[in-house]
Structure 1
Amino acid sequence: MTHSPLRSSASTSPKSISSGPELFRSGSLVSAREPHQARIGVFDSGVGGLTVLRELYRQLPQESILYFADTARLPYGTRSRAEIVQFVREILTWMAQQQVKMVIMACNTSAALALDVVRAEFDLPVIDLILPGAKAAAQEGDRVGVIATPATAASNAYRQAVQEVKPTAEVWQVGCPEFVPLIEHNRIHDPYTLEIAKEYLQPLLEQEIDTLIYGCTHYPHLAPVLRKILPRSVKLVDPAKHVVAAAAQELDLMGLRNLHAPLPTRFGVSGNSEQFAQLSIQWLGCTPLVETVQLPTVSPQPLSVEDSAAC
């Protein structure tokens, strides 16, 4: 089945509301007559989540998808936890307004810093990349390297997840602050990108890792660069492949698999829609129609003492 990445021409302008989590407190997951036909929401700070979108097309071609990129506020990897939590609240509130049946966090930084908070606030299935990616890495090797944004690396989310699955595994994490901006500016094949990649990978090579996790959905776009540096024996783990498999299992458990032809994928961004569309061509194979979205106003909520302590 061919899955067109073009959305329908009809679009709605989300209205500002004071708070997000209450949207699903009514107990109704989706108000549509046939909930299984609702879209799966996918979000990232930019084009990184397109790696997850491609996997959705491969593994769940019958599903309709809503993709949102928070390009006005990228990169997420250098933001504070409070900022990330607020951003995710706003995105999930908007996606709830669009009546999605599930959300995939195609952003490791969001998952590392905001997952537990928003799962407690929204009565909506939210699937993250970290646990599926960690399980896959634990099966592949014993000396695991993680390249991620500074925020994800500092959270120790991948180390904890891998060692929960495999306590004997050793895990090393490296924050890579320049990768996302380089990818978003289409500088993957720039000589500078190769040099900075060598710098980031050196500590992991010194530890003789046997497995490397892409701890950011942007990073699979760098595979041609990373393969020039890594020994052939090092296995690359792309959590995008495994999070889609986890999403498929969740859909089956909820009885929400779509049995009809999918709708065209709908794309939304908070920043420049034309810039996102042009950058996406090389990964989608066509130019997507992209709408600019004004996210709803969501009243900030202070993090609990426990959540703040986790920062």
Structure 2
Amino acid sequence: MRWGWTREPDPSWPIGVFDSGLGGLTVWRALRRQLPQERLVYFADTARLPYGDRSPEEILTFVRQILRWMQAQPVKVVVMACNTSSALALEQVQQEFALPILGLILPGAQAALAQGSRIGVIATAATVKSRAYSKAIREYSALDPKRFPQPVHCWEQACPAFVPLIEAGQLNSLELQQAAKRYLQPLLRQGIDTLVYGCTHYPLLDPLLKSLLPPSVKRVDPSVALVRSLARELGLWGLRRPPTAPHDEPHRFYVSGDPERFAQLATPWLGFRPQVEQVELPALDVNNFRRT
């Protein structure tokens, strides 16, 4: 048995993808582009978003609940399409759960280093507080000093207004435009040559962010690098679904909050209206958790 699955996995099993809300759909789209034959199960924890102002204890508890649900589907691998969860919970749950779980931080750091040496990261407050991207960029560049001979610098900027505005469907609002200008200014003053979208919601803002950045600044979406890595790993594990496999089962979408609202907001990004089901996760007393 590979990875200690509770039962032998089958290539026909779907890939599990989860996020706090709409943001993980950017990873979903990358999976559809690069692995079109794979079936996907997407879960959005919309009843408890945003994750960015949650404590590490809360995030870890939420992730454990979601992974237990994913195991029961079953899925052959889980993609943690949430930078906050990747930063705060990935290493812990990789030790606890008997299935492969992939996160965004390391692929994002590697992709950023391939583009430049003065790297800005925009992310949630929780991800920025963890300094996960700075650590990963520093550690990865130190592994190969010949490849990265010049000093590598990284600045992280919290963008707390982005996720609530995106989830509210306010992508063209003046408030969002003003927030984007405010968040980018400190990074531009540092002379960044690369900007990492350190939250899966943020590629949804790419047209706006591109318009505010100098043409010389390269933009990095970690989901692209993550899916490229996943494709290699599935091949090594013998779990790639054959390209000739029948497409007789639709992709599945689940939320912990309002299915109708998620379907409405997701439709423009998916190109179709998804059928969304609600999943009730165990209730938690948030008063038991320390706030960030």
TM-score after normalising by structure 1: 0.85
Give the alignment partner of residue 271 of structure 2, picking from 272, 277, 285.
285
2: CA distance, partners of 1:123 / 1:181: 33
Q: Is 1:261 equivalent to 2:246 in the alignment?
A: yes
Q: Which one is further off, 156-165 or 101-110?
A: 156-165
Letter in 2 for 1:154: K
Residue 196 of structure 1 deviates from its aligned partner by 0.7
Q: Is 1:50 equivalent to 2:50 in the alignment?
A: no
1: CA distance, partners of 2:6 / 2:121: 35
Aligned residue for 1:171, secondary structure, equals strand
Cα distance change, pair 111–101 in 1 and its aligned pair in 2 (3 A): same
Q: Please tell me whether the aligned partners of residues 4 and 99 of structure 2 are also in contact (alpha carbons under 8 angstroms).
A: no
What stretches of structure 2 of length at least 5 have no aligned partner? 143-150, 285-289
CA displacement, residues 54-97 of structure 1 (integer Å, 9 cap, x when unaligned) = 01110000101100000000000000000000000000000001
Letter in 2 for 1:182: L
2: CA distance, partners of 1:249 / 1:115: 20
Total equivalences in the alignment = 277
2: CA distance, partners of 1:63 / 1:128: 18
Q: Please tell me whether the aligned partners of residues 111 and 129 of structure 1 are also in contact (alpha carbons under 8 angstroms).
A: yes
Letter in 2 for 1:235: K
Per the alignment, residue 230 of structure 1 pairs with 213
Letter in 2 for 1:238: D
What stretches of structure 1 of length at least 5 have no aligned partner? 1-23, 299-307
Letter in 1 for 2:262: F
1: CA distance, partners of 2:283 / 2:129: 29
Per the alignment, residue 171 of structure 1 pairs with 154
Letter in 1 for 2:225: H
Cα distance change, pair 241–30 in 1 and its aligned pair in 2 (3 A): farther
Per the alignment, residue 7 of structure 1 pairs with none
Q: Please tell me whether the aligned partners of residues 94 and 296 of structure 1 are also in contact (alpha carbons under 8 angstroms).
A: no
In the TM superposition, 1:102-113 aligns within 5 A as 102-113=77-88
Letter in 2 for 1:277: A
Q: Please tell me whether the aligned partners of residues 259 and 277 of structure 2 are also in contact (alpha carbons under 8 angstroms).
A: yes
Instruction: List structure 1 runs of 4+ shifted beyond 4 angstroms.
Output: 29-32
Q: Please tell me whether the aligned partners of residues 29 and 101 of structure 1 are also in contact (alpha carbons under 8 angstroms).
A: no
Letter in 1 for 2:246: A
**Sequence identity (%):** 55
Give the alignment partner of residue 158 of structure 1, picking from 111, 130, 133.
133
Cα distance change, pair 30–40 in 1 and its aligned pair in 2 (3 A): farther
In the TM superposition, 1:56-95 aligns within 5 A as 56-95=31-70
Residue 252 of structure 1 deviates from its aligned partner by 1.0
CA displacement, residues 170-227 of structure 1 (integer Å, 9 cap, x when unaligned) = 0000011010001001111111111111111110000010000000000001111111
Q: Please tell me whether the aligned partners of residues 120 and 156 of structure 2 are also in contact (alpha carbons under 8 angstroms).
A: yes
Cα distance change, pair 28–119 in 1 and its aligned pair in 2 (3 A): closer
Per the alignment, residue 125 of structure 1 pairs with 100
Cα distance change, pair 100–191 in 1 and its aligned pair in 2 (3 A): same
2: CA distance, partners of 1:90 / 1:165: 31
2: CA distance, partners of 1:234 / 1:201: 12
Aligned residue for 1:164, secondary structure, equals helix
Letter in 2 for 1:128: G
CA displacement, residues 270-302 of structure 1 (integer Å, 9 cap, x when unaligned) = 00000000000110111100000112579xxxx
